Structures are given as C-alpha cells and as structure tokens.
C-alpha cells in the first residue's frame, strides 16, 4: 500500500464547477501536510499548506482529518487555469524525516 494515495483522475469539470480531491495517508505520525500544483512539464509549486483547523485561500479550501488520516482540497468556481495535476504531500518524522508525495490527481477544466 502506498504511504500517500490519491485518485489519479482525470477529473473533467466545466468552468464554474466545484471539485474536491481527497488524499489518504498511512502513517499516523505524519506531521505536516501540503497541496502542490504541477502544470504539464513544469515543476511542482506550493498551492497551500493544510492546517488542523482547515484553511482557505480564495477559491481553495483545504481540510485535514487526522482521525481518518485524510486531507482534502476543494476548488470552487473552477477556472480554465486551474487545469493541472494536484499533488498531496505529507511530512513525517518517525523513522527519520521524510517528505512523501502522492502521485497526483489530474484536473481538466473545460469551457
């Protein structure tokens, strides 16, 4: 079983739609959580950190559920420019520090 799992998609949504991605992690000692965005043939870029109380940045909302060991990303009012791959990232400390990337969820937003 992968340490961080994401639905690979693709998610195909029309402009203006709301779309949600989930990500599960297996290690309960995981410490910090992030969502990155990666455009085709480009490097990953930090989209937002994920805090225990949940956090929002404009149209993007991230939630963390430690009990169930998953994080989520909600995108409201999707734009064409949101088309990208979204990577779930988990930092854990036990057994040595490690950053673990999910394989990513592809999103296509269509006009």
Partner 1 sequence: DVKVTQSSRYLVKRTGEKVFLECVQDMDHENMFWYRQDPGLGLRLIYFSYDVKMKEKGDIPEGYSVSREKKERFSLILESASTNQTSMYLCASSLEVLGNSPLHFGNGTRLTVT
Q: Which residues bind partner 1 (CB under 8 A)?
A: 31-32, 34, 41-46, 49, 87, 89, 91, 93, 97-99, 101-104
| C-alpha span between 1 and 62 (Å, rounded) | 24
Least Å from the CB of residue 44 to partner 1: 5
Q: Judged by CB, which is closer to partner 1: 6, or 83?
A: 6
Tokens describing residue 43: 């490097």
Least Å from the CB of residue 107 to partner 1: 16
Tell me, rounded to whole angstroms, the distance of Cα 24 from its chain centroid.
10
Q: Judged by CB, which is closer to partner 1: 80, or 93?
A: 93
Least Å from the CB of residue 65 to partner 1: 18
Query: What does the CA dihedral 52, 88, 110, 74 come to, rounded to 10 degrees?
Result: -10
C-alpha angle 7-77-105 in degrees, rounded to nearest 5: 15
Q: Judged by CB, which is closer to partner 1: 104, or 107?
A: 104
């Amino acid at each position: 079983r992968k340490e961080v799992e994401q639905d690979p998609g693709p998610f195909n949504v029309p402009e203006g739609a709301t779309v949600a991605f989930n990500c599960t992690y297996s290690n309960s000692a995981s410490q910090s959580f992030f969502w990155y965005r990666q455009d085709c043939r480009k490097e990953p870029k930090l989209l937002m950190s994920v805090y225990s109380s949940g956090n929002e940045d404009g149209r993007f909302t991230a939630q963390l559920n430690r009990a169930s060991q998953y994080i989520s990303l909600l995108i409201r009012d999707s734009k064409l420019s949101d088309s990208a791959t979204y990577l779930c990232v988990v930092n854990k400390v036990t057994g040595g520090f490690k950053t673990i990337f999910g394989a990513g969820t592809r999103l296509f937003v269509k006009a």
